[in-house]
Amino acid sequence: MSDTPDLGPVPERITVEAAQVRRLIADQFPQWTDLPVTPVAAGGWDNRTFHLGTDMTVRLPSAAEYARAVEKEHRWLPVLAARLPLPIPTPLAKGLPGEDYPYPWSVYRWLDGETATRERITDPVGFAADLADFLVALWAVSPEDGPAPGVHNWFRGGTLRTFDGLTRRALTELDGHVDVDRLRDVWRDALDTPWDGIDRWFHGDVAKGNLLLNDGRLAAVIDFGTCGVGDPSCDLAIAWTLLTAEGRRVFRERLSVDDDTWARGRGWALWKALTTCANTYADPEDAAEFTEAGHTLDAILSDIPSGR
């Protein structure tokens, strides 16, 4: 019998309309009734996001599983913000279910910026250094009373063995499409590396969609729904999903992580890339997503001696 947690079924997401959000605002926060409500472009997957006026955003979980993060973010984001070198979301108000919307929800201060992409980053090495400095500061925040890995964050910060079954199935399905023998070795190495057991704060989803740029430089970090305290190696996956080879080197040096932590971080990137490839390789409509995940696999293999 497996001793790893059950991830459960894929969440069943709901849609939310702007008119519905206007009614929620009018009912619960009448001081903002006259402000326009408009959908945010690329407003997210785990949450439905809307502009409220010009300097606020409304964020509504798209499924019950994501609603677990609302209370956590209101409790901890102000604590973290005071200790971090870049802006993070500022919660302004917490809403309740209503108007046929079933979950708690939030109003935040709007953070301006463009989503990070390779093309938009003007200085890849400087970007890597700035991101590493942010994580150094986050990992240094006292973890006392912080939320341990669990269903609220899909077990980020816990053991990679939670995702062993998914990863092995993906490797089997992708045989003939990717270098499964070498990637299986990378996964085994990640599973076998020990964690020192020292709890640290982590973001849990350091991905391009949660990193904002101004003039091509890292300007803010958003979406702390998967944050918690535990093993912070999950925050290293970005090294292979977005950073250049030189950026990856500087990122690691700045973080001063050991070989075991680096291997586990590589495992987090590998799990996500393999499952994405397995879910997209057969559908031409998903070609862009498959290609992006393949780029991550190439970056991972570029760091591993070819004799492995």
C-alpha triplet 28, 33, 37: angle, nearest 5°: 105
Query: What was the pLDDT predicted at 12?
Result: 83
Q: Give the tens place of pLDDT for each residue, 61-117.
A: 999 999 999 999 999 999 999 999 999 999 999 999 998 999 999 999 999 999 999
Do residues 104 and 73 touch, judged by C-beta distance below 8 A? no
Greater model confidence, 153 or 1: 153
Query: What was the pLDDT predicted at 6?
Result: 60
Q: Would you state the CATH architecture of domain 115-302?
A: Alpha-Beta Complex (3.90)
Rounded to 5 degrees, φ, ψ at 182 are -70, -40
Residue type, 119: E
pLDDT at 1 over 70: no
Q: Give the tens place of pLDDT for each residue, 139-184.
A: 999 999 999 999 999 999 999 999 999 999 999 999 999 999 999 9
Mean pLDDT in residue range 183-207: 97
User: What's the mean pLDDT when you consider all of the chain?
Assistant: 95
Do residues 201 and 143 touch, judged by C-beta distance below 8 A? yes
Q: Which two tokens stand for residue 180?
A: 């499964």
Give first-to-last CA distance, the chain, whole Å: 31
In whole angstroms, what is the distance from residue 116 CA to residue 107 CA? 23
pLDDT at 307 over 60: no
SS3 125: helix
Query: What was the pLDDT predicted at 8?
Result: 60
Answer yes or no: CATH 3.30.70.980 is held by domain 18-111: no
| Domain residue spans of the chain | 18-111, 115-302
In whole angstroms, what is the distance from residue 152 CA to residue 168 CA? 24
pLDDT at 44 over 50: yes
Q: Positive or negative, the Cα torsion across 170, 173, 177, 180?
A: positive
User: Residue 162 to residues 8, 155, 170, 273: CA-CA distances in angstroms?
Assistant: 11, 8, 14, 16
In whole angstroms, what is the distance from residue 2 CA to residue 69 CA? 27
User: Residue 50 to residues 22, 53, 65, 116, 284: CA-CA distances in angstroms?
Assistant: 10, 9, 20, 20, 31
